[in-house]
Amino acid sequence: MTTLADGEWHRLHPASPLLRGGLFIVAILGFIISNLRERLIDFFFHVPTYGDDPIDELFRRGAVGWALLGVVVILVVILVAFYLSWRMHTFRVSGEVVEVRSGLVFRSNRRARLDRIQGVNIVRPFIPRLFGAAKLEVSVAGQDANVHLAYLGSAAADALRRDILHLASGARAAAALPSDAAPDAAAEGEDWVEHAGTRAAGSALGPSLGSAIGTAAGGIAGGIGGFATDRAHEFFAPELDPDAAPPESVVRIPPGRLIGSVIFSGFTVFVLIAIAVLIWSVSAGGSGWLLIAIFPGLIGSLSFYVNRFTKSLRYSIAGTPDGVRVGFGLLSVSNETLPPGRIHAVRVSQPLIWRPFGWWQVRINTAGHSTNKGAAGEAHTTTLPVGTLADVARVLELILPGFDSDSGSENGREKLLVDHGVRSPGGDDGYTNAPRRAAWLRPFSWRRTGFTVAADTVLLRRGFVSRELTLVPLARLQSIAIEQGPIQRMLRLAKLRVHTVAGPVVATLPVIDVREGERLFERLSAGAISSARADTSHHWADPGHPLNRAMPDRPAQTLAPAAEAAL
């Protein structure tokens, strides 16, 4: 446990205001430099300048002193504002809540209850990452309800996340979590917290200088050189700390496949159509306005490809003791930890264009929504942007404990069901499928449209052209609806909807035999209640509530008997 999570108030990284307002400062600097371009050329290369500019005017009027005074006043105001904003921005992490106080004129105070945490996200945008700073975001359910800590020292952020998750897990009895990185992180955390006073003066002088002062306080030996080496080490360190997760639970995406998935996407089809239209219009002797309309967009699409690619590079999904960790990014790095039981629905899908390659995508619904964009600029709901079936099995095992990958175990049935769910064309394969008369409504996919219930999870299979399988843990299910319109009544069919929190995954079974549908409705409503009662994932590591079946070092938990009876 580091000093940051001791329930006392702490301050953020001293350079936080600068990093938060960093873009603004850079913009001003850029403006000044571009305006003084000729002066700088003159200064360095002795090329005389021509014409008047504001500085000549200042010289002529003898107002250099006033101008310098103005600059100094502005600098002092900025420094004081930064200092006060840093000084007033405090946070604390206690056994129950994460709390942040900020603001000088408009005070704000925000608390998040630890047992309601939906995920903890650490983002390192490119510039703050150069300075060894990171942003920590605690997501809780609700719109714009997240708690932000921007910025913290990079290692301190990692340590604080570990502590928050540890406190939230309810495993307070077993506080001695073996961790190699924790002591170092604690040391760094203490370093800047304790020296806050000494650093206060230099707080706005820029992170490198501020840290340099800190280092100097500890011993001049290191100095700026040591700081630079540290930053370089951090920058080139692997995205996923090898100690953080057992390597067998890590799923990665090879760059080749990533490029393929970006190229073979719906967007490419769109671009190709645009190009075809363009060629047709030019060859048909069009007036050229179409060229003007479409061509810039085509050039812009190139940057889309590059962007998606760099943002998804170094993608990794791993199981850690406190949940699934999803990390990605080449320059700006982001990684999110989702504690167990925070995933409300999962969809495994395959667009038609990916079928020859055997690639699949996994998306999830969660109650908390990070404000930062996820990989590939999508929301944080894409857990696996592209992967093979083996990857899918491993990801499912991580995000839905109980869907183990090794088919020899007692969970072999679930693994088989997932396999059938995504690949089987239909038939007698463990799923209850729609009857033949459903072909009136679903001419292609009726064979595959079906459901099954396994390991406290309902699996809904659908889609023929683009195949998809939706999994909803019964303990997370919010409500169930069954519907029937006049045409479905004539065909003795019904439609079943499983309601989960909002997200990209919509769990519906468009057609099912009406009697089967009624039975499934009753079964799910009973199963949802018993699963919710047996669910303890709000304190997932509470002693006496062994959960988290995903972790290899913890014993696999058998189904709650009540839930099994209900199903």
Nearest to 386 by CA among 472, 503, 262: 262
The verdict on 433 binding other proteins (CB under 8 A) reads: no
372, 369, 292, 282: which is closest to 334 by C-alpha? 372
Selected binder of other proteins within 148, 162, 325, 344 (CB under 8 A): 344
**395 part of the interface to other proteins, by CB under 8 A:** no
- Stretch 52-81: interaction string toward other proteins, x if CB under 8 A: ------------------------------
* 439-444 long-range contacts, CB within 8 A, separation 24+: 440/487, 440/491, 441/487, 441/488, 441/491, 441/493, 441/510, 441/511, 442/510, 442/511
Residue 477 CB, shortest distance to other proteins, in Å, is: 8
437 binds other proteins (CB under 8 A): yes
Q: Using CB under 8 A, which of 67, 193, 532, 560 touches other proteins?
A: 532
15's tokens: 């350079």
Q: Which is nearer to other proteins, 373 or 523 (CB)?
A: 523
Quote the tokens at residue 362.
Answer: 């996994």
For other proteins, the closer CB: 432 or 537 = 537
141 sits near other proteins (criterion: CB under 8 A)? yes
For other proteins, which stretch binds (CB under 8 A), given 6-14, 297-305, 380-388, 519-527?
Answer: 519-527
For 167, the token pair is 């406190």
Rounded distance between C-alpha atoms, residue 215 and residue 227, angstroms: 8
Judged by CB under 8 A, which stretch of 306-314, 411-419, 436-444, 542-550 contacts other proteins?
A: 436-444
Of 4-12, 53-61, 165-173, 534-542, which part binds other proteins (CB under 8 A)?
534-542
User: Helix axis angle, 54-61 relative to 64-88, nearest 10°?
Assistant: 120
- Please count the residues of this chain forming the interface with other proteins, following the rule CB under 8 A: 48
**Stretch near other proteins under the rule CB under 8 A, chosen from 70-78, 125-133, 445-453, 517-525:** 517-525
Q: Does 560 bind other proteins (CB under 8 A)?
A: no
Which x/- pattern over 463-492 shows residues binding other proteins (rule: CB under 8 A)? -------------x-xxxxxxxxx-xxxxx
Q: How far is the CB of 345 from other proteins (least distance, A)?
A: 10
Report the 3 state secondary structure along 325-382: EEEECCCCEEEEEECCCCEEEEEEEECHHHHHHCCEEEEEEECECCCCCCHHHCCCCE
Please choose, out of 43-51, 83-91, 317-325, 433-441, the segment that lies near other proteins by the rule CB under 8 A: 433-441
Q: Any contact of residue 439 with other proteins (CB under 8 A)?
A: yes
The DSSP result for 33-66, as a single string, is: HHHTHHHHHHHHH-PPP-S--HHHHHHHHT-HHH
Tell me if 98 sits within 8 A of 147, measured CB to CB.
yes
H or E element, residue 498: strand 493-499
How long, in residues, is the chain? 567
Question: Per DSSP, which regions of 374-456 are E strands?
Answer: 382-387, 432-433, 450-454
Q: Checking DSSP bridges between strand 333-338 and strand 343-350, what pairing results, if any?
A: unpaired
Contact map string, positions 208 to 227, toward other proteins, x by CB under 8 A? --------------------
- CA dist 405 → 324, 424, 468, 470, 520 (Å): 16, 18, 19, 18, 27
Task: Find the shortest distance in angstroms from Cβ 543 to other proteins.
Answer: 19
29 binds other proteins (CB under 8 A): no
Give the 3-state secondary structure of residue 503.
Answer: coil
Min separation Cβ 92 and other proteins, Å? 24
Question: How many CA atoms are closer than 13 Å to the CA of 254, on its beta-carbon side?
Answer: 6
Q: Using the minimum distance from each CB to other proteins, give the nearer residue, 461 or 539.
A: 539
Contact pick of 156, 367, 384, 418 for other proteins (by CB under 8 A): 367
Which listed residue (120, 398, 528, 547) binds other proteins by CB under 8 A?
A: 528
Binding mask of the shown chain, residues 98 to 137, with x at each position contacting other proteins by CB under 8 A: -----------------xx-x-------------------
Helix axis angle, 37-45 relative to 22-35, nearest 10°? 70
Least distance to other proteins, CB of residue 532, Å: 4
Which helix (H) or strand (E) segment is 186 a member of? helix 181-194
Binding site for other proteins (CB under 8 A): 115-116, 118, 141, 341, 344, 367, 436-437, 439-440, 476, 478-486, 488-494, 497, 499-502, 514, 517-518, 521-522, 524-526, 528-529, 532-533, 535, 537-538
